[in-house]
């Protein structure tokens, strides 16, 4: 058998092996996609970023990551992230979440709005609504009337801080008997940004030692 024939056979075999490898890669890629292993490019913090810092190109990089591991709100556009402000600290290596960014000059969620006052309120939490609270949440505040029925005291108030739960108060619970100091009716200390009239309403109820309760309601979506 001549050398030319051997080279031809070798070329055919190599071509067949190459075709098989391509077919195997395509099949395994389909398997990875079916198994939730599809990848995409995501914006990642190159270094630790502090809260309220303006993101620069030096703070960020782009990395290929599995789609199944990422939140749908993560930023995938580097240019869209540069120049925006971090609302919370971001650790090095973390993907950049759009919920952790705001436009420059936009009001920080934890800030007291212009023409409003900041006030801390001790709110009773029989339904453990504090687990639903976050800075920027909106709450409705209730008090009990002379018949023990819950009435709205404040229609809407924006949360700017959360002080945690307390268990050292002896105020009555919603049934008039349970103590807030009991584990059945915990409390939360919540910081609010409200108008002066609402601040006076809350202060008046506090001075009267009225127990106040709250629920978390949807934000209006218009910044109020």
Q: Output the six-digit token pair for 95.
A: 């993907």
The more confident residue out of 211 and 185 is 211
Residue identified by tokens 């108060």 is 169
In contact, 85 and 150? CB cutoff 8 Å: no
Q: What is the pLDDT of residues 47-101, one digit of tens each?
A: 999 878 899 999 999 998 888 777 767 888 888 889 988 877 888 988 888 777 8
pLDDT for 5 equals 65
Q: Report pTM.
A: 0.44
Domain boundaries, the chain: 1-35, 39-102, 117-217
Q: What is the CA radius of gyration of the chain?
A: 29
Which of 3.90.1210.10, 3.40.50.620, 3.90.79.10, 3.30.930.10 is the CATH number of 39-102? Answer: 3.90.1210.10
């Amino acid at each position: 058998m001549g050398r030319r024939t051997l080279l031809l056979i070798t070329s055919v075999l190599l071509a067949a092996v190459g075709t098989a490898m391509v077919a195997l890669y395509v099949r395994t890629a389909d398997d990875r996609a079916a198994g939730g292993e599809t990848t995409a490019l995501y914006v990642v913090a190159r270094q630790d970023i502090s809260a309220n810092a303006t993101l620069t190109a030096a703070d960020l990089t782009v990395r290929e990551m599995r789609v199944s591991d990422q939140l749908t709100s993560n930023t995938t556009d580097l240019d869209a992230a540069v120049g925006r402000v971090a609302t919370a600290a971001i650790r090095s290596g973390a993907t950049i979440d759009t919920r952790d960014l705001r436009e420059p000059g936009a009001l920080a969620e934890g800030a007291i709005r212009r023409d409003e006052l900041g006030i801390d309120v001790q709110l009773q939490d029989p339904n453990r609504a504090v687990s639903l609270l976050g800075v920027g949440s909106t709450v409705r505040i209730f008090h009990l009337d002379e018949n023990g029925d819950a009435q709205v005291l404040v229609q809407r108030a924006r949360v700017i801080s959360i002080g945690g739960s307390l268990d050292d108060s002896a105020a009555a619970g919603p049934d008039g008997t349970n103590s807030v100091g009991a584990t059945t009716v915990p409390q939360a200390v919540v910081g609010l940004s409200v108008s002066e009239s609402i601040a006076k309403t809350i202060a008046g109820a506090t001075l009267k030692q009225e127990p106040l309760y709250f629920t978390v309601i949807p934000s209006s979506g218009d910044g109020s």
